[in-house]
A and B are shown apart, each in its own frame.
Chain A
C-alpha cells in the first residue's frame, strides 16, 4: 500500500470557498443557536442588530469554509486514495483502489455556475447497502473530476493489461457507445408513476402550510364566484387533476432531463438531471442481474423502468438505474444485454392461488366482523358495508397477486417475479447466488408450498419466489445456482 506521507495532497478548487460561504455549508449548524440566542435576548436593536448578525454569520461561515478548505486534501496514489481532513483532529482515510466500487460525479446548480463538480467515491466493503463507506471530494473542476474518475477506476485496466505501459494517469480514450437516450415523449408516462405523482402533492402540501402561516390581514377577501356548488367542485377537481399531471411531468423532467446511458470500456455511465447533473458509473463486471419493474398504471400503457443489480453498490435503487422511465421493450432490451433471458415463467400451483386469495380477503373480513359487531350493538352500519366491499375487492386482488408470481431457470440465469401494485421481474445470473433460504410457514406446509429466497450480494439482498410448489424447491435451487445446492435435495 502507498505510504500516505509520500503523497502530496491536493486541495479542492478555491471557488468552493465562495460556494460554501453562500450556502452556509459548514456554518449551517450555527443558525439554530444564533436564532435561539436572538430569541432569548430579543432583537431589540431592530435593523442594525439583524444586519450585524447576518454579516457576522456570513463572516463566520467564510472563516469556517476557509479552514475546512485549507485542512482538506486528497491524493490518488498507485494503489490507494488518501483523504485528509478535520479542523482540530486530523482524520486520514486510506482506501485501496481495488476497493473502489464506483465513482459518481454530481454537479448541483450552484456548482455548475462555478464550473465545479462533486466526486463521490463508493468504496463499500462487505455487505451491500452500507452507505457509510463513502469518500466525497466536494468542489473540483470538471476536468479534474474526470481525471479523478479515470484514475480511481484505472486500477482494473492495469490489472487486466499487466504488460501495458503503466501510464495510469492518461488512460486511452475508449470509444463510447450510446446504449439509451431518453426520449422526451417518455415523460408523458410520468403521471402514471406513483413516485412522480408524489412530487406535485408534496408541493401542494407545502404551499397550503405556507398559506396558513400568512397573517389574515394579508389574505385577500375573495368573493365567492357566482357558480352553483356542483360546478365549482367539478372545476376545482379538474383543475387539481391538470395540476397533478403537469406537476408530475415537470418533476420527472427535472430528474430525468437528458438521461443518457453510454458504454465505455467495461463500464456503463448514466448521466441525467436538469438542475443537478448526475454522472454515475457502473462496472459491467459487477452486475449480477437486472430488475424490470412496472406499476399498475405503467402496465396499462406498457411502460417500465429497469435497474441493474450491482454488487457492493451503495444506494442501489437510485444508482443502479439503467432506464428511469420508458417503453417496456426498451427496458427488456437493456436487461437482455446484461443478463441472458430465461424461458417463460413457471406459474405457482392452485394451492398458492387459494392462499393468495385468503391473504387478500383477510383484512376485509376483519373489518366486516367489526362491522357486524357494531351493527348489532350500536346499529351503525357503514363499517359493515365497507367491510363487505373490502372483502369483495380482496378476491381480485389476491388473484392478481397470484398471477404476478412466477419463477424460471435458464442455462446461465434465473428469474422471479412478484407484486401487483409494483410488479418486479428480477433476472439474475447463476453466479449471483451466495445462499438459499427455504421458508415454510404452518399453512404453507399444509398446502404443500414453500417460499424460496435467493440470497444475493446486490440490490435488496434477497429475491424470493413466494409460494412455489414445495417439491420443486430443491430442483429450482439446483438449476438456479450450482452443484453445491445439491445439499438441499431430499433424495440424497
Chain B
C-alpha cells in the first residue's frame, strides 16, 4: 500500500517561519554533540577486553550517533517544516504538527480560556516564539510553535480579544 492516501482532515493553510528549520537544525546539532561526547567518554572508559561491550561501544554506538545525526540534522527539520501548518479561522484555531506521526488540533475560539506566548532559550536566538492556547481540558491545548515573535504577539492578542467577545460557557 502506498502512502498516497488522503489526509483524514483538512490541512491548515499557513506554514511556519522559515527560521524554524534553522532552529530544528540547531537543536539537532546540540543533541548530536551531546551524544558524541557521551560515546567518546564510553570509548575512553570501557576497557578494550570487555568482549561484547567493547564491540557495542566502539562500533555500534558511533554508527547509531551518525545515523541519528543525519536524521536529526538533514532529514527531520525539512520534513517537519513541510508538515507543520497552522491557521486561525473565523471561529477556531487549527494546527498540524509532527513529522512521522501527525497530530491535528482544533479548538474553537469560544472555548479558549487563556492564551500564552512562550519564548524558549533557543527560540530567542532565532527570534521565534510559541503561542499556547489553553482550554478547560488538560488535553485540549493547542501549541503553535516557532512563529516570528511579532506574529506570535499579534495572534495571541487577537485570540484573547476574540475569546472574550464570544466566550459562551468555556467549560
Contacts and interface: CB of A to CB of B under 8 A. Distances in A.
A440 B101 contact: yes
A129 B136 CA distance: 10
A437 B140 contact: yes
A434 interface: yes
A438 B10 CA distance: 11
Contact of B139 (A288, A450, A462, A482): A462
Interface residues of B, number: 36
B130 interface: no
B102 interface: yes
Given A457-B137, A462-B140, A487 B8 contact: no
Contact of B10 (A128, A435, A460, A489): A489
A71 B171 CA distance: 37
Nearest to A450: B8
Contact of A311 (B6, B92, B136): B136
B165 interface: no
Given A435-B137, A457-B137, A445 B5 contact: yes
A447 B5 CA distance: 9
A438 B5 contact: no
B76 interface: no
Contact of A434 (B1, B7, B87, B140): B140
A360 interface: no
Interface in B16-48: none
Contact of A446 (B3, B92, B135): B3
B24 to A, nearest CB: 19
B169 interface: yes
Interface residues of A, number: 45
Nearest to A310: B171
A442 B137 contact: no
Given A438-B103, A438-B104, A487-B89, A473 B138 contact: no
Contacts, number: 138
Given A446-B3, A457-B135, A492-B10, A434 B171 contact: yes
Name, among B103, B104, B170, the residue most crowded by chain A CB atoms within 10 Å (CB to CB): B104
A470 interface: yes
Nearest to A464: B139
Contacts of A470: 5-8
Contacts of A438: 8-9, 103-105
Nearest to A482: B108
Contact of A436 (B91, B105, B113): B105
Contacts of B94: 487-488
Contacts of B1: 446-447
Contact of A488 (B104, B136, B169): B104
Contacts of A462: 137-140
A204 B134 CA distance: 46
A457 B136 contact: yes
Contacts of B160: none
Nearest to B106: A436
A126 interface: yes
Given A446-B3, A453-B139, A462-B139, A484 B108 contact: yes
A277 to B, nearest CB: 30
A471 interface: yes
A312 interface: yes
Contacts of A129: 138
Contacts of B10: 474, 487-492
Interface of A: 126-129, 286, 288, 311-312, 431, 434-442, 445-448, 450, 453, 455-458, 460-462, 470-471, 473-474, 477, 482, 484-485, 487-492
23 contacts: A434-B171, A435-B105, A435-B137, A437-B139, A439-B103, A439-B104, A440-B101, A442-B101, A445-B102, A446-B5, A455-B107, A455-B140, A457-B171, A458-B136, A461-B140, A470-B8, A471-B6, A474-B10, A484-B91, A484-B92, A484-B108, A488-B106, A490-B8
Interface of B: 1, 3, 5-10, 87, 89, 91-92, 94, 100-108, 110-111, 113, 134-140, 142, 169-171
Given A434-B140, A460-B139, A488-B9, 8 more contacts: A286-B171, A434-B111, A446-B5, A455-B107, A456-B137, A461-B137, A470-B8, A474-B8
